[in-house]
Structures are given as structure tokens and as C-alpha cells.
Amino acid sequence: MHPSEVLFQGKRQPLLLPACDHYAGSEKLMLKSMALQQELGPLFDITFDCEDGASAGQEPAHAQLVVRLLNDEANRHNRIGVRVHDSASAFFDGDLAVIVGGAAQRLAYLVLPKADSAAEVARAIEQINVHALRAGRVTPLPVHVLIETHGALREADAIAALPQVECLSFGIMDFVSAHYGAVPANAMRTPGQFTHPLVVRAKLEVAAACHAHGKVPSHNVTTEIKDTAVVANDAQRAAAEFGFTRMWSIHPDQIKPIIKAFTPRLSEVNEATTVLTDAIAANWGPTSQHGRLHDRASYRYYWTVLQRAKLAGLTLPEAASALLNPAPQPEST
């Protein structure tokens, strides 16, 4: 049996996405992002922004621009999503009609901002599906939800449980602003964003909700765009201390530090390869490495390490690559 079949026994494996989600809201930045994605490969996602990161007043034309770029041959990897307006906005349905209607097959996901409840997200997904079906998309269009309101945080678990939702993304600036001065502005950046109790609580609840349902928690943006050491530090803390597996980027220089911070170290990859190779030799029974017991509980951890390393483009040992070969599909009758 393939490792994924043994370790998850028919259950859905936790979702994995590229570690960096790069936002771009103008044509110049969108084109620059696409060029970089062609250069690096699908190691990071791009989110075209129709909301806060885009200019106001040209919404219909901006949506048409997004469709044109999504359908362009430069969208080589089909790893570009779009942040549309929130479902209460007058522009929401127009975004769906134009963007989903015009590029349903090329969209990697849609991002829903400023949601206030699981019911609101579910209604938005119903609207998305109407447009996607009308445009001929067969597979469900993945949805990412920004957790940036009190209501969304309160219902983060219920939102993460929705089948079509694959990622919860923490929006720290809107979240802090929603406290109307009760949370200081320095809680939007380091070190306050990792120490203020209300922000820490929000991050932990977002991450916990995602992991409970096998979804991807995405950490908020770092507003420092000149000092990449700050970005790297934020990404490392987000991963090591808060359990996030993905993070926003708002500048091309942030992309590589984020990917590096979320990529398993080569020593971890080698350890995972050894543990899983021994597990296969033991027919997935318990094994021992350096005096430490391993069984299928820890095998699941090491299997995820290899998957994350592959997703990040890390060169893997031959034995690890063999382990990650796709599971054989049953023959059709």
C-alpha cells in the first residue's frame, strides 16, 4: 500500500499549499509577480487583489484586467487566486460574474474578505458555485477566508469546517483596527503582534481551527518591506510558535524569506526519509531510531515533512522522492 493510504486509512489528508501567498493589486505588480512565478516555479501563490490593495473607482475595469491576466499564457502554473470584494459589497456579485465567469478554469482560489460568520461564508460560496457552474467549471472552486472581524474569529472553527474552504488567512490590520484603539497600533507589527494577548489569542484560534479540519492557516502580512530579516523572523515565529504553514507577502523581496522559513531543513528531510524507510521495512509497525520509538502517529508527521519539502522545491533524497510518488489509481472497469 502507498504510504498515504496506510497513514490516513482512507481519510482525507490535510491540505498543503505553497508557503507564500503574494498579493498584487495593480497591473504593474501583477505582471511582475507573474514573471517571478515563471522564474521560480509554483513555489508561491499569487493573489490578485480587487479589494483593499487595489485602487478605488475602477472596479469593473480592474475585474476585467484580472480576467485577462488569469487567461494569459503567462499564468503557466494555474496558481493565481483573487481576493474579491466582501459579500456585502455592491461589487461582490459583479466580481463573481466577471472573474469567475471569465476565468473559472484558471482560478486557483477566491479569497473572501471581511466575512462575519460561517453562514455568510456559506451563502457566498453558494453564489460562487452558481457562477462557476455556469462557466463550466466541474471541480469546486477553493475558497480562502480572511479572519479579520470579531464575528469571523468567533466562528473560525465553523468556517474552517466548510468543505470548500481550504485556507483561513489572518488579517491583522483590520482585526486590530476593529478594536478602535483598545489594541495599540504596535500590535500590527513585531514584536507586539506576537505578544499582545488579544492578537496572540486570535492567531492561535485561527491556526487551531485550521488544523482541526485539515485546512491551511495563513499568517498575516509583515508591513516592513525593506528589511528582509524582519520578514524572515516573522515567518519563523509564525511557523515555530503559532503553527502557521503559510504567510502573506506584499513585496517581491518578501517571497524568498517566507518560503525559506517554512521549508523543512535538510536534516529534517533526511530524518523523515530514514524513519519512513524503516517503517516500510517493518510493514508500518513500530520502529526505533536512536533509542526513540516511532509508530504510525509519528510516521504521519514525517510524511508531512516530506510533502512540505517537495512543495517548497527542495531537492530530495532519492529514497524520499520514491516515497512521494503518487498512489496508484484503481483500474477503471
How many of the other CB atoms lie within 10 Å of CB of 67?
A: 19
Pairwise CA distance, residues 200 & 329, whole Å: 43
- 328 phi/psi in degrees, rounded to 5: -65, 140
> Which tens digit of pLDDT belongs to each residue from 237-249?
999 999 999 999 9
Pairwise CA distance, residues 84 & 102, whole Å: 14
> Which tens digit of pLDDT belongs to each residue from 110-152?
999 999 999 999 999 999 999 999 999 999 999 999 999 999 9
Mean pLDDT of the region 180-188:
96
Residues in Cβ contact with 319 at an 8 Å cutoff, skipping those fewer than 6 apart: 273, 277
**Which pairing describes strands 216-219 and 44-49: parallel, antiparallel, or unpaired?**
unpaired
User: pLDDT tier at 327 (50, 70, 90 boundaries)?
Assistant: low
**pLDDT of residue 326 exceeding 90:** no
**Which pairing describes strands 110-112 and 292-294: parallel, antiparallel, or unpaired?**
unpaired
> Which tens digit of pLDDT belongs to each residue from 188-226?
999 999 999 999 999 999 999 999 999 999 999 999 988
Written as nine digits, the cell of 238 is 509564525
Name the 3-class secondary structure at 86: coil
H-run or E-run covering 168: strand 165-170
Q: Determine the distance from the C-alpha atom of residue 281 to the mean position of all C-alpha atoms in its chain, rounded to a whole number.
A: 34
Length of the chain: 333
CB 17 within 8 A of CB 166: yes
Model confidence, pTM = 0.93
Residues in Cβ contact with 69 at an 8 Å cutoff, skipping those fewer than 6 apart: 27, 30, 31, 34, 48, 75, 80
Pairwise CA distance, residues 216 & 246, whole Å: 7
- Residue closest to 105 by CA, chosen among 83, 130, 82, 132: 132
- Give how far Cα 63 sits from Cα of 67, 69, 80, Å: 6, 10, 14
pLDDT value, residue 331:
53
> Which tens digit of pLDDT belongs to each residue from 58-79?
999 999 999 999 999 999 999 9
Residues in Cβ contact with 314 at an 8 Å cutoff, skipping those fewer than 6 apart: 263, 264, 266, 269
Written as nine digits, the cell of 221 is 502580512
Query: Can you point out the beta strands (E) in 223-300?
Result: 246-249, 287-289, 292-294
Q: Given CA atoms 147, 149, 153, 159 in this order, what sign does their dihedral have? A: negative
Cβ-count burial of 274 within 10 angstroms (0-12 exposed, 13-18 middle, 19+ buried)? Answer: middle
Mean pLDDT of the region 31-57:
94
User: pLDDT tier at 55 (50, 70, 90 boundaries)?
Assistant: confident
- 181 phi/psi in degrees, rounded to 5: 95, -10
Mean pLDDT of the region 302-306:
95
